[in-house]
Structure 1
């Protein structure tokens, strides 16, 4: 379905030789496979099937799947890979597939389906489990979903690229889904429904509280002068780590006591439990630049994917201006890892949260803007969630609309539905016309309205003095015209520019419009690196 770049291979396909090799292979267990290969896995439809592993240098490897065969020889480092032809979804009633790999030993993987595979990553709101979400009891009880397979990557940190991770494939059942990512689960349900019930594989690899640099290769950070300070700061922290550790140990008893009180309060209020006190920096922590990329992403590549789902940004809100570069750099690095410039990348814009009362000074608004700017990359889409957050909770329980909006955006990205039905409206251009500022929106066919049928609100406007005042607005098709009687010569307009804004613009399909500003004046996180 989603062909990537042509995969070059020197491998020789020879069915008779491969089958003979299976018959004669010895039993010594030398061939190793990454954990992403396993019983009950889903193989991406319509793309070459990459199979890879490790063996003794010079060892001959034979692979067979669905009547296709391939052979390889492990190189001097012991690595090998093959590419099998693309597969399509199995017809109704067909038996699941079996993958066989043989060298000096034999490996076999059973109950394999062909469908769409999505990698779901980010921080705590992606990690947020179905059993914690709104309507959890009913949703968990209904989570017997044939054709949906789940794979969770165990959390780990590494200094360099890893061959494998810990995790295994499982059927989607109430038991497995309860502790799975709620956003990923709801996306999978909608994607399967929108695609005629095809099998869906969801690979979940996230870690709460993490920053984007932990998911980005160190070389990428080092190559950009605006991102390199991340590494400098980390190296300085490592030098100070003995003192940091000593201070933590000295205060640990007090911190644990405070944490226990916070846990009881969160339980009483039905909120996500706070993390136990621990060292939040230093060797082996999830904040290590590139540490999660090495341990939790590289072991998955180049397993064929439909695309990536990403829900992160809270951890970088204090450096939102830097995120303008960091986030696209991370996306490009993942595409490089999969050798696919067209790898679809869909992400969630930060929701509303009551943090900063001053409407024109918001790090969260800046982070949303950085996410909005990432749409300049091809094959990307963003789910706007400014209307479904919980102002009092960093981890809103309402994950169903988030998953559905990601699925709708993916449907539009893949041409399965009109863009105006699946893409949240976002500003494309603006023009100052006398006392008014006119903002054009994408998709070009979108029709804007207010959610409540009332007047548009959530707008401010400023002249060259940069002093923002409340503004009025009117909707004209896919455009918004903004003005204020008190600003004769407007220079900039903003919409929903606050941590927890009051806003009501949606598309005809009911999808919320993205917060935006027409200016690029330095804000609260400018210069934070």
Structure 2
């Protein structure tokens, strides 16, 4: 049977295949298997895998696409693609393939996860991961850069920890090869992963499309003038960091004995924006001092000034593209390092939101010498308000290469993967969209529809990680953008073939990147095991089903509530009730079978209930499987993010 490409995106005369088709790959079982690449127009291309083969003809644009017949799980196979050239792909298996995508918590590698040592002792090469290299584009690309790796103690450190935990759990249950295609970028928004055409069709996102269209039409001129304006503006907008100051803390002989220890990677406290100093003393031999010519610190969010022995060796601010996630690697002039004591000092600043060192400890190096341990820190001060004459932030002449520019990651890191045969996708993102949580109720479904459209495999499964608990617990907080984002994720998770994994109980109030990724991946796997592989497992924690009111008492009925209990044996926490005045008060809660009975002396006539509706709710309600109850609200009152676009 001859199956030719119907969509052509690039013209080339050289023979080759897409990067996904490489050694150690996993192909999706029980579905036709798309294979594509490039050759001279009109040339016949044959693809063989085991006893199966398919033939196609290269289109006039130079692109071919053929479909191998569906295969059962198995391997290893050798795949050959033959046209004017020949590509041989070894160690190929057929099994289950899933995409894992999102922002930094999906990008978070196994090397930094809590279960690293246990994971290294239990690797199986039948679990594999293709990691897409970061890239941006204003137009859809034909291919990505990346490679497959089979799980081993030497390889899993670079794997997405959530993706790997998900894949490991599937393999332990299904006993078929598992392939994870990892494509993520820390700090990115959902619109960056959504096609421009889709953004243009939804009234909730047309403002995003219109701003992007205007930016793309602007000529990329005046970059030098922009940099100069930014430097002036920064001294007024952030005078505490960029204003004139004697950097005494950078000095080699400065006394830091009273400073506190700092474990790397260090995250700024959740409720702090401002400047923190970090120092590290390194003893070097004469040979080491001569050999070390670079200082690597990984990424720092937002800005830094870095010193060695009192001399500034580099700084990163808004004039550096993607400054908030840029990898710091500074050159050290010959002779600056000495035999004996040397001091590295980093003055780091966070203007808003999460901040600090965001790469793994192993990213910190002086030359080839690891320097991730033994750091000290001291708070310089909280962020000061801008000066009265600061004015608005200068606008870059063009930031269209930014990973957060609409559609850039969709074009460069998602679109080229289609139509690789997959079972589904898992998604851990939302922190960067929390301030526009209500818009996310439309934006994320748009993105999912877009992905399903380009992969052309129907409404494939799409499972979402709900944001973890984060930031300081506040008993007076009854409105929260993060709670609204979680609500949006739950809303989207009820779309056909979607689901939401709740992790409201395993976050870290001081770290937006909690290190427990095994539980995250395994909770996602529970959803897949039940909905896609039809296993008899509980796949959700207790969730709101209905509510009845009798006088001052509210009875909340929960589904997925078998063995309903609390983790600490105390009464359920984090329930609030309100009357018609819309003023929230904490409720006393009592478990009664699969229901929770609520009362509050402050609310004699309750009309609405919220559960877990804070940035960091102190929850304790679980079912017999230990899965936490899903945060919820029963009211339809306006949200604090409702008008944000």
Q: In which range does the TM-score fall when normalised by the shorter chain?
A: 0.7 to 0.9
> Is there any run of 5+ residues in structure 1 with no aligned partner, and where?
1-8, 13-27
1:289 aligns with 2:331: no
- Which of residues 321, 328, 332 is equivalent to 1:279? 321
Aligned partner of 1:226 in structure 2 is 204
Cα 1:393/1:266, change in 2 over 3 Å = farther
SS at match of 1:279: coil
Q: Do the aligned partners of 1:438 and 1:479 also contact (CA within 8 Å) in 2?
A: yes
Distance in structure 2 (CA, Å) of the matches to 1:407 and 1:369: 21
Q: Do the aligned partners of 2:13 and 2:38 also contact (CA within 8 Å) in 1?
A: no
Aligned partner of 1:479 in structure 2 is 595
- Which of residues 469, 478, 485 is equivalent to 1:352? 469
Cα 1:477/1:303, change in 2 over 3 Å = farther
TM-score, normalization: structure 1?
0.87
In the TM superposition, 1:308-327 aligns within 5 A as: 308-327=425-444
SS at match of 1:174: coil
Q: Do the aligned partners of 1:72 and 1:81 also contact (CA within 8 Å) in 2?
A: yes
**More off after superposition, 464-473 vs 168-177:** 168-177
Structure 1 or 2: more helix by fraction:
1
Aligned residues between the structures: 495
SS at match of 1:453: coil
Aligned partner of 1:25 in structure 2 is none
Aligned partner of 1:75 in structure 2 is 59
Cα 1:310/1:245, change in 2 over 3 Å = farther
Q: Do the aligned partners of 1:307 and 1:345 also contact (CA within 8 Å) in 2?
A: yes
Q: Do the aligned partners of 1:448 and 1:475 also contact (CA within 8 Å) in 2?
A: yes
Aligned partner of 2:135 in structure 1 is 156
Distance in structure 2 (CA, Å) of the matches to 1:252 and 1:31: 51
Distance in structure 1 (CA, Å) of the matches to 2:106 and 2:436: 20
Distance in structure 1 (CA, Å) of the matches to 2:403 and 2:509: 27
Report the CA distance between 1:437 and its aligned residue.
Answer: 3.5
Aligned partner of 1:382 in structure 2 is 500
Q: Deviations over 1:306-358 (max 9, x none)?
A: 21111000000000010111111111111111113331111110001115744
Q: Do the aligned partners of 1:352 and 1:387 also contact (CA within 8 Å) in 2?
A: yes
Q: Deviations over 1:198-231 (max 9, x none)?
A: 2111111000000000001111111011111122
TM-score, normalization: structure 2?
0.72
> Is there any run of 5+ residues in structure 2 with no aligned partner, and where?
5-11, 236-240, 251-258, 268-298, 302-315, 323-395
Aligned partner of 1:88 in structure 2 is 72
Q: Do the aligned partners of 1:115 and 1:199 also contact (CA within 8 Å) in 2?
A: yes
Aligned partner of 1:99 in structure 2 is 79
Report the CA distance between 1:167 and its aligned residue.
Answer: 0.3
Q: Deviations over 1:246-289 (max 9, x none)?
A: 4445679967x99x99xx99963543663464334812111010
Aligned partner of 2:44 in structure 1 is 60
Q: Deviations over 1:164-219 (max 9, x none)?
A: 100011121222211221111111211111113x2111111000000000001111
Q: Deviations over 1:24-67 (max 9, x none)?
A: xxxx9832211111011011111111112222222221111121
Report the CA distance between 1:233 and its aligned residue.
Answer: 3.6
Structure 1 or 2: more strand by fraction:
2
Aligned partner of 1:342 in structure 2 is 459
In the TM superposition, 1:138-287 aligns within 5 A as: 138-139=117-118, 141-142=120-121, 144-196=123-175, 198-235=176-213, 242=223, 245-248=227-230, 268-271=263-266, 274-275=300-301, 277=317, 278-280=320-322, 282-287=399-404
1:501 aligns with 2:617: yes
Cα 1:179/1:462, change in 2 over 3 Å = same
Q: Do the aligned partners of 2:127 and 2:150 also contact (CA within 8 Å) in 1?
A: yes
Aligned partner of 1:510 in structure 2 is 626
Q: Do the aligned partners of 2:97 and 2:422 also contact (CA within 8 Å) in 1?
A: yes
Cα 1:53/1:230, change in 2 over 3 Å = same
Cα 1:244/1:500, change in 2 over 3 Å = farther
Aligned partner of 2:489 in structure 1 is 371
Aligned partner of 1:22 in structure 2 is none
Q: Deviations over 1:64-112 (max 9, x none)?
A: 112112111122222221222111122xxxx611111111111111110
Superposed CA RMSD in Å reads 2.8
Q: Deviations over 1:363-419 (max 9, x none)?
A: 100000000101221111211111110000111111111111111121112244335
